[in-house]
Amino acid sequence: MKTSASGLGLGIHEFYKDKTIFLSGATGFVGKVVLEKIIRTLPNFKKLFIMVRDKKKVTVQERLEREILSAEIFAPLFLKDPTLVETLRKKVVPVAGDLIIDKLGLSPADRAMVTAECQIVISCAASVNFDDPLLDALEINYFGSLRMQELAKECKNIEAFTHVSTAYVNSNMPNNSRVEEKVYDHASNVDPEEVIANIVRLGPVKVQESEKSLIGAYPNTYTFSKAYAERVMQKKRGDLQMTILRPSIIISCVDDPFMGWIDSPAASGGIILGVETGLLKIVHSNPSSIMDLVPCDVVSSQILVQSAFAALARSGEVNVVHSTTSAKNPITVAEIRQAMI
């Protein structure tokens, strides 16, 4: 994790004091943990806009309270301070929006309010389905990310824009390659924006027929769409202070707010759940392979710290940070198996 040169810390609490934040993805696992951490550890924030999709017969305020703040992760906060519910109704403001709609689907009034007040934009929303059809993955993970960046650039007092990517954006590289904290150009030095435009122009039928050849060495549409999002956001960022955080396989919280919390049986969580319940009898794997697992509360802390770091450092460079464990604290498939039996 990058820190200040003095080693005296960044002054995280002071940085977030009286700040207004825009957060997407709060209905998801990582977004919930980020939201809880802001409320619990950075209570002096001024306002927090939460983007949630609009649903028929359900207001965004109802979605915030029923689907987000009612999650088990927030229970200790409300138990400790019953008045917190009313406080959050004033400070946490849900706005109707959607990654796949132009200008995020924000109403003109909401967009004007957000761009006038926000200093920090954190983009956690994404599709983590590895097997989404390519055009669907691009709509959410590529175009949706660009729409979030566009919003950040419109904010009149923007200090930091943080995009949550994945450590596997460079999975097209040869095995055992050293992946640095930077955005890699396309191997053929072609314009990444034009690559995506050409794919879209093919139309749904041809894209589906040619999907494997279109994504090339990438193992799935998820990593392909996230990789191109990074490249094009770097190209279009202007003078925006931008952080790209690349977590590996996100697992349950290790410490904050309590050990073991997770709200999704996706990815490694699904495998562990299947094995522990006896539904999954065989997992084809190499026992010596390293599983790069990172607790969600570690990722959420890095999101908040690196947002502050980029804003305070103002280096003019894209702040790319890996949120991974395999280099310093690796765990093999065999060790995971032993821990589960």
- Rounded (10°) angle between helices 333-340 and 267-276: 40
pTM: 0.92
Number of domains in the chain: 1
Reported confidence tier of residue 290, pLDDT bands at 50, 70, 90: confident
- Rounded (10°) angle between helices 221-236 and 192-202: 130
Neighbours of 195 (CB within 10 A): 15
**What is the CATH number for 75?**
3.40.50.720
Q: Residue 246 phi/psi, 5° resolution?
A: -115, 90
What pLDDT digit, counting tens, does each position of 89-108 carry? 999 999 999 999 999 999 99
Q: What is the rounded average pLDDT of the residues 192-201?
A: 96
Per-residue model confidence (pLDDT) at position 2: 46
Per-residue model confidence (pLDDT) at position 266: 66
- Residue 181 belongs to a domain: yes
Answer with the residue of higher pLDDT: 278 or 269.
278
Q: What is the rounded average pLDDT of the residues 27-56?
A: 95
Per-residue model confidence (pLDDT) at position 5: 39
Spatial separation of the C-alpha atoms in residues 97 and 92, rounded to whole Å: 15
- Residue 215 belongs to a domain: yes
Encoding tokens for residue 269? 């969580």
CA dihedral of 297, 300, 305, 306, whole degrees rounded to 10: 130
Per-residue model confidence (pLDDT) at position 1: 43
- Residue 285 belongs to a domain: no
Q: Is the pLDDT of residue 244 over 50?
A: yes
Reported confidence tier of residue 9, pLDDT bands at 50, 70, 90: low
Reported confidence tier of residue 53, pLDDT bands at 50, 70, 90: very high
- Residue 153 belongs to a domain: yes
Spatial separation of the C-alpha atoms in residues 26 and 2, rounded to whole Å: 25
CA 95 to chain centre: 19
- Residue 270 belongs to a domain: no
Mean pLDDT of the chain: 91
Q: Could you list the residue range(s) of the whole structural domain that residue 154 is in?
A: 12-248+294-325
- Residue 96 belongs to a domain: yes
- Residue 298 belongs to a domain: yes
- Residue 92 belongs to a domain: yes
Reported confidence tier of residue 267, pLDDT bands at 50, 70, 90: low
Helices (H) and strands (E) in the chain, counts: 15, 9
Spatial separation of the C-alpha atoms in residues 122 and 301, rounded to whole Å: 13
What pLDDT digit, counting tens, does each position of 115-133 carry? 999 999 999 999 988 989 9
